[in-house]
Amino acid sequence: MKPKKLLRTALLLPVAVLAFLVLPVSLSGDGGPAAVGQTTGEAPAQTPGVADDRPNFVLILTDDMTLRDYFAVREIESSLGGRVAFFENSFVTTSLCCPSRASTLLGTYVHNHGIKGHIGPNTGEDAYSDRGYDRRDLPSSLKAAGYETALFGKYLNKYTVKEPKPPGWDEWYAGDTPARSWKLNENGKVFYYQQERKRDPGYRYWEDMLGDKAVSYINGRTPQDAPFFLWLGTHAPHGPEIYPPRHARRFQDARLPKPPNFNEADVSDKPEWIRSLKPLTSGQVSVMEQRYRDRLRALAAVSDNIARIRAALRKSGELDNTYFIFTSDNGYHLGNHRLGPGKMTGYEEDARVPLAISGPSVVPGKRSQLVANIDLAPTVAELAGARLATAPDGRSLAPLLTSGSGGYGTADFRKRLVLENYRVPTPSGMWPAPTNQGIRGQGFFFNRYATGEEEYYNLQRDPHQLRNRAGDLPRDRLRDLRSLRSKMASCKADSCRSLDGGKPR
């Protein structure tokens, strides 16, 4: 099945490539890991004849999944093994598919990598490739460190199956967005699959097909193979919400969550783009009710395939040495603040995402620290003993996995992060919200739009963001927030970690 294997006993790479792409995690003077993100030093050496016992990674990245979806489909956590570290305060820094995915791969904010959308010039996968990011992102860094990298499913928006395999990936099964039919680039060869059973007796549901190929990849491994990083990019629960027939009767009694901000009655405190929205009609709400149930059905199939991957790893003897990381590229609003189905805001429904991690030495339980998608690349790099070729803006979550706190209190790990969303084209026209960059802190959200409009929510007293208190803030407090937001909105690498208020390692 695999065109080429990387042997654990012969992880020899050109020194020039290693010098620029990847370095081992060395120890700092106090005995702790040195900061991830540097790009100079020696490459990790493997002793010939000695097995490589570095861990494997399976990263499951769903599409448009919310925190409430995770708890509604209870078998997801079971499919991850049940004993997970669950991050209650996990965010994406930009709530749109392609910008968020680029941030996950690079560990950097959108204001640094510049991929702000996926329609039009200088956006999407082509911009990511043109800027050379696919040669210095997480998979490229892991590959240079001797890992085998494999992708199954969605990569970056604007990717088409005619595109060549990016340099950071060994195994490549990437597809266009599925609807009634879809295509998959399988290591350079394009295959067409039919989505409707009535038109194709050989019907195979998208998520199940990806599961088949991921399981086949695992079954084809041998004890001599390199450790692996596997990216499973699901379509679910993105619209159109496609699910397999076996789940068609599930969740019939599920009801769309309608918190206090659902079809918000009074939006007079909100920015103009929200104030211009009319209340949702009963017909619009009915459509969202159905879409919500279909989203859960699609996610149930994702859970099925995670369980299949775990079973294959258990059979191969690799399960105990494999980390599972489950998250989403962004959240999703369904009626909140009068907004129809969508994302692209800094509101809680869009910015919050599930994050669950299981694996070697992971202590199960809840984590309250403020974390984000920009933390995933440095986390994997540290656990793999590799260095990222691109200096990250985020922090490694590794110390939070082996204990409930890793020595960090709730506010010690990070006190605040940047949430930024841009006015970019969408399939239905230009997104109505002006570009905005804000600070999501411990218990508050301060946001400023390009129009000069501002929002401030005390999330401890107002978790549903009903009362914008920007106009009520003391002058000194408002001045300080504006100054901090301005600095954080242009931070880079070390300066991001200095400004986020976290305790240095």
Helices 206-219 + 282-316 axis angle, to 10: 10
Q: Helix, strand, coil proportions of the chain in percent (round to 5)?
A: 30, 20, 50
Residues 98, 443, 269, 289, Cα dihedral to 10°: 60
Please answer whether residues 375 and 407 qualify as being in contact, where contact means their C-beta atoms are separated by less than 8 angstroms.
no
Tell how strand 454-458 and strand 85-91 pair up: unpaired
Task: Compute the distance between CA of residue 271 and CA of residue 365 in angstroms, rounded to an integer.
Answer: 38
Active site residue 496: no
Tokens standing for residue 219: 């079954």
Please answer whether residues 420 and 94 qualify as being in contact, where contact means their C-beta atoms are separated by less than 8 angstroms.
yes
Residues 17, 19, 21, 24, Cα dihedral to 10°: 120
φ/ψ of residue 43, rounded to 5: -80, 155
Q: For residue 149, what are the β-bridge partners? A: 229
Torsion sign, CA atoms 467, 471, 475, 479: positive
Please answer whether residues 164 and 188 qualify as being in contact, where contact means their C-beta atoms are separated by less than 8 angstroms.
yes
The residues annotated as belonging to the active site are 97
